[in-house]
């Protein structure tokens, strides 16, 4: 097994190199030279990773351009080599990488856009949430309702940013035809990514809705989360917010 491990290490080293060094003499030349044959594999391998990440991060690619995106992806997959055989997991550390990627430092919002697109990717592939059972409320008293705890559904993610990430995402969609200007000074935005049916949806949340959801997700009971919402916005309306979240499968009653 030690010989196999060394061979695998040599293969990986040449896969990210520019020429054939560690595998020299181990690949048959006939009918094409070993180096040319390995270059074909190397190019196909790296192109497949680039294509997979471009499919997950189309807005990021549009913001920086294809050439810079390819350069950034090359650096990313070298810094965070895949530990999974599933390409769906390849981009999980992209936002973390972008926060410290100096060539993209003039775009401080880029990492949060990446977080948003990764959340979309996760929701798209997540299992469906179980249907909300209205009997949970019908069979309990109003006093018991306030002590219920909720969790985010499996096909739901909350992304909060100091930048207007929903606006940035919106104006960079293929079918968007309106004003494409983005004012970075408009402040923070929070987005809920949900999949009520088969299609993933992005909901631009009011700040109080984000506060309420974060409070629920932290494990607080419904009453305490409502109180957090009211502290932020005195006219916060639970009767409008809660049914919409439950219907979309964004939150589920926690079953202890």
Q: What is the pLDDT along the chain (256 residues), one digit of tens a residue?
A: 567 777 777 777 777 777 777 677 666 667 777 777 777 877 888 889 999 999 999 999 999 999 999 999 999 998 998 888 788 899 999 999 999 999 999 999 999 999 999 999 999 999 987 776 666 666 666 667 788 899 999 999 999 999 999 999 999 999 889 889 999 998 899 999 999 988 999 999 999 999 999 999 999 999 999 999 999 999 999 989 998 999 899 998 887 6
> What percentage of the chain's residues is helix, strand, coil (to nearest 5)?
55, 10, 35
**Residue 227 backbone phi and psi in degrees, to 5:** -60, -40
Give the Cβ contact number of residue 40 at 10 Å.
10
Q: Provide the CB-side half-sphere exposure for 204 (13 A, CA).
A: 10
Question: Which residue from 221, 220, 209 is spatially nearest to 250, judged by alpha carbons?
Answer: 209
Cis bond before residue 5 (omega within 30° of 0): no
CA-CA distance, 252 to 185, in Å (whole number)?
35
E strand or H helix at 207:
helix 207-217
Helix axes 2-15, 34-56, angle to 10 degrees: 70
Domain ranges of the chain: 1-107, 128-256
Q: Which residues contact 198 (CB under 8 A, 6 or more apart)?
A: none
Domain range 128-256, its CATH number among 3.40.50.300, 3.40.50.720, 3.40.50.970, 3.90.930.50: 3.90.930.50
């Amino acid at each position: 097994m030690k010989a196999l491990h060394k061979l695998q290490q040599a293969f990986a080293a040449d896969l990210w190199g520019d020429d054939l060094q560690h595998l020299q003499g181990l690949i048959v030349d006939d009918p094409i030279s070993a180096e040319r044959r390995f270059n074909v594999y190397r190019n196909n391998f790296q192109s497949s990773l680039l294509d997979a990440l471009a499919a997950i991060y189309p807005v990021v690619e549009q913001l920086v351009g294809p050439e810079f995106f390819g350069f950034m992806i090359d650096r990313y997959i070298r810094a965070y080599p895949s530990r999974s055989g599933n390409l769906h997991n390849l981009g999980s550390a992209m936002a973390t990488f972008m926060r410290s990627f100096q060539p993209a430092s003039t775009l401080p919002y880029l990492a949060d856009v990446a977080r948003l697109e990764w959340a979309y990717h996760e929701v798209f592939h997540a299992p469906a949430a179980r249907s909300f059972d209205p009997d949970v409320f019908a069979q309990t008293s109003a006093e018991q309702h306030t002590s219920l705890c909720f969790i985010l559904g499996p096909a739901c993610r909350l992304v909060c940013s100091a930048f207007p990430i929903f606006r940035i995402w919106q104006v960079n969609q293929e079918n968007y035809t309106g004003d494409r200007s983005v004012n970075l000074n408009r402040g923070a935005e929070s987005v809920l990514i949900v999949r009520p049916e088969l299609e993933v949806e992005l909901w631009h949340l009011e700040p109080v809705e984000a506060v309420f959801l974060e409070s629920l997700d932290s494990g607080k009971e419904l009453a305490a989360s409502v109180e957090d919402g009211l502290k932020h916005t005195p006219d916060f309306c639970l009767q409008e917010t809660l049914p919409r979240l439950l219907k979309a499968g964004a939150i589920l009653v926690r079953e202890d």
